[in-house]
Amino acid sequence: MTRPLKTGPVLALIGAMLSFSPASAHEFWIEPEDYAVDRGEEIRADIRIGQDFRGDAFPFIPARFRSFSQHDDLGTEPVAGSIGATPALTAMPRAEGLTIFTYVSTERSITFQEWEKFEEYLDYEGLDRIPQRHDARGLPRDRIREIYFRCAKALVNVGPVTSGEDRATGMPIELVADANPAAIEPGDELRFRLLWQGEPLPDTQVALFHKPAGGTEASRITTRTDAGGNVAFTLDTPGAFMAAAVHMTEPAQEQKADWQSHWATLTFAVE
């Protein structure tokens, strides 16, 4: 059962969330308690932000997202919740097969006081062309202002049916798996498409984090999308996985920022 928090703790959690940024926390994701449930079993998941597939959970706060949705064979509906409820996601499955959850955050911003911190972040996310573009635009190398949006997706399989497939749901940036992870065996390869505004996004870093069953430490490997926005990873051992990518663009002039970024994560499990 969800538990509404008192006003004081909720405000404290909102304050903590405001302190998270691309500089201090590289990933934002939906983490289900179970990635496979029975037809009549409640799906519960945390919204987490952190690094290396470890992070703090925060509650259901509508002011923090543009959309929070559940997608299945019956269509799409908003994820319901009470302000301050934890975990942030509790939902009953509506159909057997793959259920997809998506979350698109509201706009956030950060100012990098030092070029070194900004460059370190760019290097981690594989945004290696941004420094040259930054200088070519005549931007200063201090007080660099970035606005960013988080686009998270999680895949949960319901019941014994494993034929359902992931699909594009219309988020600005989105990773789409080409198979239901519930049908994947350890050692199989799983391919993904990275989409930006519905179109394939080429030559972009995608990181895959793996947390073995029962483990707390996650490994990380990276590759880049091909001309069609595709990447593939071999999933050697069971456990929870998170694919992640970042796309950085020039913002509109009225946004009064140097850069704009969109962050995609996709969480799933292989048993």
Report, in angstroms and rounded to the nearest whole number, the Rg of the chain calculated over CA atoms.
Answer: 18
Q: Is the dihedral of CA 89, 100, 260, 194 positive or negative?
A: positive
Rounded-to-integer distance, Cα 87 and Cα 31, Å: 10
Q: Name the residue among 145, 156, 194 with its Cα closest to residue 172.
A: 194
Q: In this structure, are strands 108-112 and 173-177 parallel, antiparallel, or unpaired?
A: unpaired
Vertex 7: Cα angle to 103 and 65 (nearest 5): 15
C-beta of residue 52 within 8 angstroms of C-beta of residue 220: yes
Rounded-to-integer distance, Cα 154 and Cα 45, Å: 9
Q: Is the dihedral of CA 121, 196, 187, 27 positive or negative?
A: positive
118 DSSP 8-state letter: H
- Give the pLDDT confidence score for residue 23 in this predicted structure: 53
Rounded-to-integer distance, Cα 180 and Cα 100, Å: 11
- Give the pLDDT confidence score for residue 35 in this predicted structure: 97
- Give the pLDDT confidence score for residue 3 in this predicted structure: 42
119 DSSP 8-state letter: H
Q: Between the CA of residue 14 and those of 22, 64, 79, 83, 84, what are the distances in Å? A: 17, 9, 20, 11, 10
Rounded-to-integer distance, Cα 30 and Cα 102, Å: 8
- Give the pLDDT confidence score for residue 194 in this predicted structure: 98
- Give the pLDDT confidence score for residue 4 in this predicted structure: 43
Interior/surface letters 171-185, b for 16+ CB within 10 angstroms, e for the rest: bbbbbbbebbbbebe
- Give the pLDDT confidence score for residue 179 in this predicted structure: 94
Q: What is the pLDDT along the chain (271 residues), one digit of tens a residue?
A: 334 444 445 444 444 444 445 555 679 999 999 999 999 999 999 999 999 999 999 899 999 999 999 999 999 999 999 999 999 999 999 999 999 999 999 999 999 999 999 999 999 999 999 999 999 999 999 999 999 999 999 999 999 989 889 999 999 999 999 999 999 999 999 999 999 999 999 999 999 999 998 777 899 999 999 999 999 999 999 999 999 999 999 999 999 999 999 999 999 999 9
pTM assigned to the model: 0.91
